[in-house]
Amino acid sequence: MNSNATRFTQIFSLDFDQSGQIASASIQVLLLEKSRIGRRNNGDPTFHIIYRLLAGAEGQLRKELYLGNLVTENNPFITPLQKHEEKQRAVVDFNRIVGAFKILGLSEADEKVIWTVIAGIYHLSCAGAVKTNVNSQSSRWQFARAECAEKAANLLGTSVEELSRIIFSSNADGITTTAGSGGGGGGGSRGSLRASSPIDSASNYSGLDALEGFIVGLYTEVFHCVASLINKVISSPVHTVSSLLLCDTPGFQNPASCGHQTGANFEDLCHNYLQERLQLLFHYSSLVAPKNRYIQEGINIEHDEDYDEENSGVGSPQDLISLVDRGQQNTATMIRSSQNDLTGRFQGEKKGLLWLLDEEAVCAGGSDESFMDRLFSLYGDRDYQLLLRKAPGNNQFVLQHLQGTNPVLYTATGWLKATRENPVTKSAINILQESTREDVNRLFVQVRSTGITGALMTSSISGLEGSQSLRRASSIRRTFTTVKRKSACLQIKFTVDGIIETLRRTRVKFVHCLLPQHNSGCTDKSFVTMKLPKNDNGVINVPLLRSQIRGGQIIDAMRLHKVGFPKHLPLGEFRRRFGLLSSDYAANVRSSSPVEDERRVVEDMLLTMDVDAASYRVGQSQIFFRAGALERLESQRDEKLTGHIVLLQARCRGYLARKKLNTLKLQDLAVRCIQRNVRKLMSVREWPWWRLYVKVAPLLNVHRTEDQLKARTEELELLRAKVEKLEQERNHLKHDNVKLEAKPTV
C-alpha cells in the first residue's frame, strides 16, 4: 500500500465574502489512523514526520532534542529508514515543513514545542518496556532503556519517575484492582483515569500496550495542536456568504490486493465504511434523486433499447452499509444506557458490525472470537452471502465492497482492543498541560481552551473551531454524547454521519480516482517485494478498471445523464433569465411580473426560441434540459445580451462625451473671459490715471476700515448702555420682590 497516502480524512473549507474574495479558510481532520504511531508489524513505516525530524534536525535543534545518537535496534514502534535516498528525501521534506511553518507565521517557540513532543515520542519508543521479576508476585513493568526515558522526560517537562508511574502504574493498578467493582475506580493513582467497567475486567494490557497508548495520546495531541495552529492563522471571524468544501479521504483500503495476506485492520474498515457512505451519497445524488425528480415533475425518460435496467446490476450500497452500522431504533437509548444495561440487551435484533463490536467491547468476557461468532450467527445465512462471507484464516472475513467488485479481507484480531480506550491515552494531555517547560505548558493549555482536543474526541474531530459547516451538524453534536461512553465505534459512525450530512447540504461534485494497477503507488517494502500477477500490456489492468467503474456506478450515472435531462431550472427563473431570447414574450410580458400560468408562458417562449423539442421537457414547476442544451441557450443569451450591453455602453459613452463637451465649452468661455480681462489690463496699466488708482485704492480701504471701526464702537457703547439699564431694572425688581416676601401673610 502507499505509505505516502493520507491516513486521515480532511475537509478543507474556503469561505467567501460578498465581493467574492476569500475571507477565511479552515481545515478539519477526522478519523486519524492512530495505530500507525503504535507498534509496527511486518516492517510497516510510521508517520513521515518522525523520519523527517530524525533526518532533518541539525545544529542546536538536534542537540536540544537529544538526537545525536539514535537508537535503531529493537524499536517496536519505529522502523528506521534504510536507503540513503530515503534519508535525503526526508531532509528535503523537513526543510519544506519548516518553510511552511514560516509562511504560516508560526512562532519559533510553538514550532520548537512541536518538534520537542515528536522527539519525546521517539525517545519513548526507544525506551521500550520490560517486565522485571517475571516469576515473582512483585513483578512490575519499567522502561527497558532508562537513558532514553530520561531524554523523553526532559523534553516533556517531567521526571522519569512520574512517567513510569503514569504509564505503568495505571497498567498495574488502574485495571486489575477495579475488576469486579461496581463503583468508582480503585486506587488513587494518577494513572487510573477511568471508572470500573466490563472493559477493565476483560482487558489485560501489558506494559508495551500502556506505553503504546501513551505514545498514541502524545501524537494525537500534537497532531491536533498543529491543525489548531493552522486554523488560527488561516481562519477569520468575518462574515461570509458562501463556502467551498473539499473532502479528501484515504479511499478504499484493500491490502490483500497488494499481496498483504494478513488482512485489513479496524482502521481500514473505518476508511472503507466512509467510502461506502460516500458511494451511497453518489448513488442517491446521481441516480435516485434525478429519477425521483422526473417522477415528481411527470417527465418520461426514453431508455436505451440495449440497456436492461433490471439486470444491469444497478444496486444501492445501502445493504452493506446497514450490515456495518445498523443499530436499534432508539439510538439515544443506546448512548444513554449504562454499561451493565448493554450486556445482553437487544440480542434478538440484527445490529450492524459496529454495534456488535461495541457491545462486545463493553461486555465482560468479550473477545475477538466471540465477536466473530455473533457476527456470523446473525449474518451467516444465505441472504447475506453476497455481502459477507467467512475467510479460511483465523478471525478473518470478507466484505464485498463496491457492489461486490472490491472484496476486502479483514482480520478481526485485536479489534476489541482497538475499540477500547487505552486508560493511559488520556494521561498524555495532563503531562503536556502540567509540564514544567513553560513553552509546552502554554501551547497545549491554549490549544485546549480554543477547541476540541484529541484526547476528548479520540481523534474523531479536530479543527472544528474553524468551521462554519460541521459545527451545525447534528451528528457531530451526537458525537459529544458518545464521549461519556468512550465508544470508538459510535464516534466513528456519528463522525461519518456528520461528514455525509455536511456534504449533502452542498451542491456536491464527485471526483473518482481509479487505480490502473493493484499495486499503483505501492511504496511499502513489505508490499513491493510481493509478486503480483502481471497484466498483458504492463501498463493498465483493464479488468481492474472495469470493476472499479462498475462498482462506482459511473457508467450508470453517465447513461442516465445521457438519456435523461440533467439540467433543470424553476420555471420562474427560466422565464426571467431567457425572456430576452423570445421577441413576442419580451414585447408582451415583463420577466419580473407575475403570471397566472407560468408553464404555458414558458412553452410559448420555447416555441419562439427555436429550441429542439427533444432537448427539453417542461414539468409542473421546473423545466429540464438534456446535456448541452442549457449551455447553448446560455451562449445565445450571452450573445444577445452582449448586443444590448454594447448599445448601453454606446449610450453611456455618448452621455459622458456630451457632458465632457459641455464642461470643455464652459472652461473655454472662462479662459476667453480671463484672457480678455488680461489684455485690457495690459493695455491700461501704463496710463497715469491707472497708476494713481492703484496707489489711492489701498488708502481708501484704510479710511473705510476706520469708518467701520467707529461704527462698531458706537454700536458697542449703545449695547453697553442698554445692558446697564437692564441691570438696574433687574436689581430694582429684585429689591421689590424681597420686600414683598418679607411682608407677613394674612
Q: With contact defined as beta carbons under 8 Å apart, do 412 and 397 qualify? A: yes
Model confidence at 707, pLDDT cuts 50, 70, 90, reads confident
In a domain, 574, yes or no: yes
Half-sphere exposure of residue 668: CA atoms within 13 angstroms, side-chain side: 6
Q: Choose the weakest-confidence range: 8-17, 113-122, 547-556, 598-607.
A: 598-607
Q: Residue 621 belongs to what domain range?
A: 542-632
Lowest mean pLDDT among 133-137, 238-242, 372-376: 133-137
The answer to whether residue 205 sits within a structural domain is no
Cell numbers 519499567 label which residue? Answer: 142
Q: How many domains does the chain have?
A: 1
User: Alpha helices of 143-185 — where are they, by DSSP H?
Assistant: 146-156, 160-164, 170-172
Could you tell me the pLDDT band of residue 609, with boundaries at 50, 70 and 90? confident
pLDDT given for residue 745 in this prediction: 58
Give a yes or no: residue 600 inside a domain.
yes
Which CATH number goes with the domain that contains 560?
Answer: 3.30.70.1590
pLDDT of 589 higher than 60: no
Q: Which of 35-44, 306-315, 498-507 has the weakest average pLDDT? A: 306-315
- Give the DSSP per-residue string, 441-485: HHHHHHHHHHS--HHHHTTSEESGGG-SSGGG-HHHHHHHHHGGG
The rounded percent of the chain whose pLDDT value lies above 90 is 45
Confidence of residue 590 (pLDDT cuts 50, 70, 90): low
Question: Mean pLDDT for the chain?
Answer: 81
Q: Percent of the chain, pLDDT > 70?
A: 79
pLDDT by residue (tens digit) across 486-498? 678 888 999 999 9
Binning pLDDT at 50, 70 and 90, where does residue 306 land?
low
pLDDT of 348 > 70? The answer is no
What is the pTM for the complete model shown? 0.78
Distance, in Å, from the CA atom of 245 to the CA atom of 75, rounded to the nearest integer, reads 40
- Cα-flanking dihedrals φ and ψ of residue 568, to 5°? -145, 150
Reported as a single tens digit per residue, the pLDDT across 60-76 is: 999 999 998 887 677 87
- The answer to whether residue 719 scores a pLDDT higher than 50 is yes
* The pLDDT value given to residue 469: 46
Angstrom distances, CA of residue 675 to CA of 18, 671, 678, 679, 680? 53, 6, 5, 6, 9
414 lies in some domain: no
Residue 614 lies in a domain: yes
- pLDDT at position 308 is 53
108-118 per-position pLDDT tens digit: 999 999 999 99
- The neighbouring-strand residues paired with 622 are 570
pLDDT higher than threshold 80 for residue 177: no
- Which residue type occupies 320? L
pLDDT value of position 717: 94
Give me the half-sphere count of Cα atoms (radius 13 Å) on the Cβ side of residue 312.
19
Residue 576 lies inside a defined structural domain of this protein: yes
Q: Looking at residues 587-613, what average pLDDT do you find?
A: 76
Chain segment 387-415, per-residue pLDDT in tens = 999 998 888 999 999 988 999 999 999 89
The pLDDT tens digits for 254-275 are: 888 777 778 888 999 999 999 9
Q: Enter the C-alpha cell of residue 483.
A: 464521549
Interval 185-190 mean pLDDT: 36
349 vs 84, higher pLDDT: 84
pLDDT tier for residue 480 given thresholds of 50, 70 and 90: very low
In a domain, 602, yes or no: yes
At residue 695 the predicted structure's pLDDT band, cuts being 50, 70 and 90, is confident
User: Is position 460 within any domain?
Assistant: no
The per-residue pLDDT for 591 is 55
